[in-house]
Amino acid sequence: MPSFVTYLIHTLFPPTVRFPDILLIDAGLVLGGLGLIGFLTKTHRWGWLWREWLTTVDHKKIAVMYLISAIVMLFRGGIDAEMLRAQLAMPSVHFMPAIQYDEVFTTHGTIMIFFMAMPFIFALFNAVVPLMIGARDVAFPRVNAMSFWLFAFGAILFNISFIIGGSPDAGWTAYPPYTGLAFNPGPGENYYFLSLLIAGMGTTMTGINFLVTTIRMRAPGMTLMKMPMFVWTTMVTSALILFAFPPLTVALAMSLFDRLFGSSFFTLTRGGMPMMYVNLFWLFGHPEVYILVLPLFGVFSEVVATYSKKALFGYPMMVVSVLAIMFLSYGTWVHHFFTMGAGPAVNAFFGLSTMLIAIPTGVKIFNWIFTMWGGRIQMTTAMLYQMAFIPTFVIGGASGVMLAVVPADYQLHNTYFLIAHFHNVIIGGTLFGLLSGMYYWWPKMFGMKLNERQGKVAFWLFFIGFWITFTPQYLLGLKGMTRRLYTYPAGLGWHELNVISTVGAWIMGAGFVALVYNVVWSLLYGERDVTGDPWDGRTLEWSLPSPVPEYNFARIPVVHERDAWWAMKQKGQTMAHALRPEDVHDIEMPKNTPIPFLLGVSFFVLGFGMTFKWWPIAIVGILGVIACLLFSGFDYDDHHHLEADVVRQTEASLGRLQG
Amino acid sequence: MSLPLAEKAGQHPLPIEFADEKESIKITGFWMFLVTDVLIFASLFSTYAVFRTSVAMGPTPDQLFRMGPVMLETILLLTSSFTIGLGVYFMRKGQVRALMGWMIVTILLGAGFVGTEIHDFVTFAQMGATWHTSAFLSAFDILVGTHGAHVTFGIFWAITLLFQLRKRGITPQTARKVYTYSLYWHFLDIVWIFIYTFVYLNGKIV
């Protein structure tokens, strides 16, 4: 065999990716891929895929692509979680060897945060924010498509690591010096840094895009204090992204340079300082947890108002508390490493600032409760998630305040108490919020409702499974079980609690199956939404038909009240948006472009080449990036006019034209 | 040179780069991008501040820095910031040839800056002071190098703008592109002032 073939096999398929389960997945992926290619060829869908999806700049289609990716990633991260729980169910189980266990908890955390929660949030942003503010698209539609493809190819680069070359295994935080070349010579950590850098660029661009969209693109009359709460949280989240991602970019790039080019930022020799990485990482990492939860505070604010048939209680205080959380979130990052030993004064400051965040959060909790107070509550699936969120998030927040007490943190740091705490807030806040938003806006995105009965089954499985999984973990933490432990001996009193926790994880897995069944069933047989306003909603997206036409609004609405659509309905002005045929004009729309997709491909090639230090491939990637930038710089043909006739026909077919 | 203020906008027409709503939104977007770039540099500056004394076996800032080339770089870059300002002034007057002329001067000054900086880095490398040597040099190289890479990118960006200007003249779109480019260039100038102060002067004095 020629030597380079041996080299390739040795590099691409080292022993760590030759476990039987991984080989099985390899076979499954190859078969699945061939099946997909065969299906697309047989049904002649390649052109459709290219024109309608890969080159689209329509925010509504980008939202659908984000949503599909997020659910696929939820599946991947969930499988990782089930594997971890299977390993820990019994003492001294060696279902996975230590190295594979390390890889699985690393990919579980990284995927759930960067490749599940973030794109799911962006799916909701893209799906409804332009509709809520009465805009025809986001501020920069092409940049929006670039954001998606950078995220998508970053996610692909990260996900191929477990079948090609080996996964990262240093935890989702990737602390040096363990990520250094001396301790971690494989390509795994290169995958981690490069995929997060690529996806992080996309995220930063999304932040810029939605900040400008919410600042500059609002319909006439929609002042800041008349924006729907979800738009407020979108704006604040985008600002958080703007300020949080650069430190992460710097920290990741420095770690990568240490590994690839021999610099000495975080090495143990030549004056390097690993704690600097930890500071930079959490300077991003703490705002990141608010990036993950604030949009869902917005979702809950919309959901609770709609299903309680009341305006959101204390809207100005909600705005103030969101802004307070935004500012405070930058002053708390040291609470992730109190045990670094920065001294009592520093730790006391960060302990107090952490507790302070509980105040604006508590204000919001009370506002949601008071919104429900005296309302006519409809127990839909979205509302169930909202109601489950309140106690879950309160308990998760309270355990967070416990961790903010510095002496207690010295005891609880990196134990299962911490694991239970952050799953309590991230599942209770973020995942419940995402699913609530998905059930709430599904009719607007796809034109049909998700089946409520199946949705409630999935909800109860998730909710009950969640508590069975994580309540024992608080106790395990108090009993001294530390995180990232690949197995444990019998006789420590951890066994029973771990069994319960694993059973809970299975129940949550069943919840996921029920969710997917619900989605697929509803896509096939779901109740069509012919009204465009199935929930009797309050904000402008419900004034449009479902699914929304390409141009969103035939005429940009004028806003007078906070819950604009509700006010129109109260005043009997729901037909005010209906146009006379002669009032329909040409609409300027952004034009499809292949550049964002090709840019994503180029970055993928660049990332893959750098992961294995195959510089010629990396250079091909760089040339691709340069070509894409040059092409878009000289491309002035970026929009087209939708003929008035087309708009007239579409509106008439939807029954929205007068006369 | 008087910039039109917001309250005067009713009386005077807006400058050409703000006249089109879509182009004006892109300028807002570019400011947001600059925010992220400010934070990139802030992170790099803080890293440098932490690593400044971690010289290991390598040279200290005082032993390494030569102020002559640094002064030259400063003069070149600050002058180029002035010349791109003149370019934007003539753009608003609609004089495309003057605009292109001042952009070419800016590019040449920027190239002089990058050339001097590369020469400086090569000199350091010949002395054995690369970023393998110490954390201080790693932090110095990545901070100053990121700035230099930005300037290099700016030069190529300006060259593509020249081709667009030659083909299309001054339109709301090309004017917006030149204007965002000038914002970028001024921003790099400001970052350099901080590098000059906190890296070079501080390294020589402390």
pLDDT value for B2: 45
Q: Answer yes or no: is pLDDT of A91 > 50.
A: yes
Flag whether residue B132 sits within 8 Å of chain A, measured between CB atoms: yes
Q: Alpha-carbon torsion A452, A455, A460, A461, what sign?
A: positive
> With 90 as the cut, is the pLDDT of residue B205 above it?
no
- Enter the tokens of residue A515: 């969710």
pLDDT for A25 equals 86
A463 & A578 share domain: yes
Chain A contact set for B58 (CB, 8 A)? 270
Cβ–Cβ below 8 Å for B133 and A249: no
Parallel, antiparallel or unpaired: strands A587-590 and A639-642: antiparallel
Q: Is the pLDDT of residue A52 over 60?
A: yes
Q: Is residue A154 part of a domain?
A: yes
A251 contacts B164? CB cut-off 8 A:
no
Mean pLDDT computed over B79-105 = 96
Task: Output b/e per residue, A114-131; b: 16+ Cβ within 10 A.
Answer: bbbbbbbbbbbbbbbbbb
The ipTM (two decimal places) reads: 0.93
Task: Check B50 against A273: CB less than 8 A apart.
Answer: yes
Domain assignment present for residue A400? The answer is: yes
Predicted local confidence at residue B90, as pLDDT? 96
Q: Cis (ω within 30 of 0) for the bond into A177?
A: yes
Report the sign of the C-alpha dihedral through residues A127, A132, A133, A134, in that order.
positive
- Model pLDDT, residue B147: 97
Nearest to A249 among B40, B139, B141 (CB): B40
CB contact under 8 A, B32 and A212: yes
| B contact test, residue of A209, A265, A340 with most B CBs within 10 A | A265
Chain centre to alpha carbon of residue A185? 30
CA distances from A70 to A67, A122, A438 (A): 5, 10, 12
Q: Would you tell me which residues 162-191 of chain B have a C-beta closer than 8 angstroms to some C-beta of chain A?
A: 163-164, 168, 173
From A209, A246, A272, residue closest to B135, measured CB to CB = A272
B-chain residues near A280 (CB < 8 A) = 43, 47
Note whether A16 and A94 are same-domain residues.
no
How many folded domains does chain A comprise? 2
**Is the CB of A250 less than 8 angstroms away from the CB of B32?**
no
Which of A215, A250, A273 is the closest to B54 by Cβ?
A273
SS (H, E, C) A436-498: HHHHHHHHHHHCECCCHHHHHHHHHHHHHHHHHHHHHHHHHHHCCCECCCCCCCCCCCCHHHH
- Chain B hits for A250, Cβ within 8 Å: 40, 43-44, 47
Interface of A with B (CB under 8 A): 139-140, 143, 204, 207-209, 211-212, 215-217, 242-243, 245-247, 249-251, 253-254, 257, 261-265, 267, 269-273, 276, 280, 283, 630, 633-634, 636
Return the residue matching tokens 């141009």. Answer: A551
Using alpha carbons, list the distances in angstroms from residue B163 to A412, A592, B88, B90, B111: 62, 25, 17, 18, 18
Task: Give tens-digit pLDDT for A402-435.
Answer: 999 999 999 999 999 999 999 999 999 999 999 9
Q: What is the pLDDT of residues A271-306, one digit of tens each?
A: 899 999 999 999 999 999 999 999 999 999 999 999
* Cα–Cα distance measured from residue A493 to residue A22, given in angstroms and rounded to the nearest whole number: 33
Residue A641 φ then ψ, to 5°: -100, 125
pLDDT for B204 equals: 87
In the predicted model, what is the mean pLDDT of residues B87-91?
96
Judge: A209–B29 Cβ closer than 8 Å, yes or no.
Answer: yes
Whether residues A360 and A272 fall in one domain: yes
Residue A600 lies in a domain: no
Residue B4's pLDDT band (boundaries 50, 70, 90)? very low
Residue A599 lies in a domain: no
Q: What is the pLDDT of residue B87?
A: 97
Question: Could you name the CATH architecture of B30-52+67-205?
Answer: Up-down Bundle (1.20)
Same domain for A333 and A480: yes
Domain extents for chain B? 30-52+67-205
How many angstroms separate the CA of residue B37 from the nearest CA in chain A? 7
Suggest the residue from A212, A256, A280, A637 to mutate for an interface test with chain B (most B CBs closer than 10 A). Answer: A212
Chain B positions in Cβ-Cβ contact with residue A271 (cut-off 8 Å):
51, 54-56, 134-136
B39 → closest Cβ in A246, A263, A265: A246
Each residue of B47-57: pLDDT tens digit? 999 999 999 88
CATH number reported for the structural domain that contains residue A182 in this entry: 1.20.210.10
In a domain, A378, yes or no: yes
Model confidence pLDDT, tens digit, residues A557-582: 999 999 999 999 998 887 766 678 88
Residue B1 has a pLDDT of: 38
Nearest Cα of chain B lies from the Cα of A631 at a distance, in angstroms, of: 11
CB pairs under 8 A between A and B: 111
- Contact at CB, B132 and A245, closer than 8 angstroms: no
Under the banding of pLDDT at 50, 70 and 90, the label for residue A659 is low
At B68, is the pLDDT very low, low, confident or very high (cuts 50, 70, 90)? very high
Whether residues A331 and A425 share a domain: the answer is yes
Give yes or no: residues A396 and A369 share one domain. yes
Per-residue pLDDT, averaged over A356-368, amounts to 95
The reported pLDDT for the residue numbered A3 is: 84
Nearest CA in chain A to B27: A212
Residue A657 gets which letter from DSSP?
B
Distance from CA of B14 to the nearest CA of A (A): 17
Question: Which among A273, A278, A290, A281 has a CA at the least distance from the CA of A248?
Answer: A281
Query: Which of B36, B47, B173 has the CB atom closest to A246's CB atom?
Result: B36
Q: What is the pLDDT of residue A41?
A: 92
Least confident of A341-345, A535-539, A612-616: A341-345
Give the number of other Cβ atoms within 10 Å of residue B160's Cβ.
Answer: 15
pLDDT, tens digit, 9 for 90 and up, residues A463-515: 999 999 999 999 999 999 999 999 999 999 999 999 999 999 999 999 999 99
Residues A358 and A488 in one domain: yes
**Structural domain includes residue A601:** no
Best mutation target among B20, B21, B23, B36 (most A Cβ atoms within 10 Å) is: B36
Q: A634 and B164: CB-CB below 8 Å?
A: yes
Domain housing A384: 45-593+638-653
Structure tokens at B103: 């952009």
Q: Does any domain span residue A184?
A: yes
Q: What is the pLDDT of residues B125-169, one digit of tens each?
A: 998 888 889 999 999 999 999 999 999 999 999 999 999 999 999
Mean pLDDT, residues A73-98 taken together: 93
**B159 contact A CB<8A:** no
Cβ contact (<8 Å) for A271 and B54?
yes
Distances (CA, A) of B148 to A251, A512, B68, B84, B185: 19, 50, 18, 18, 12
pLDDT at B20: 87
Nearest CA of chain B to the CA of A264: how many Å?
5
Shortest Cα distance, chain A CAs vs residue B116, angstroms? 23
CA–CA distances in Å: residue A270 to residues A22, A221, A505, B132: 39, 60, 45, 8
CB of B56 within 8 Å of any CB in chain A?
yes
Question: Are the Cβ atoms of B51 and A273 closer than 8 angstroms?
Answer: yes
Number of continuous H segments (helices) and E segments (strands) in chain B? 8, 0
State the CB neighbour count (10 A cutoff) for residue A635: 12
Whole-number pLDDT of residue A15 = 83
Q: Which amino acid is at A237?
A: T
User: Which residue is closest to A249 within chain B, CA to CA?
Assistant: B40
What pLDDT is attached to residue A577? 62
Residue A92 CB coordination number (10 Å): 8
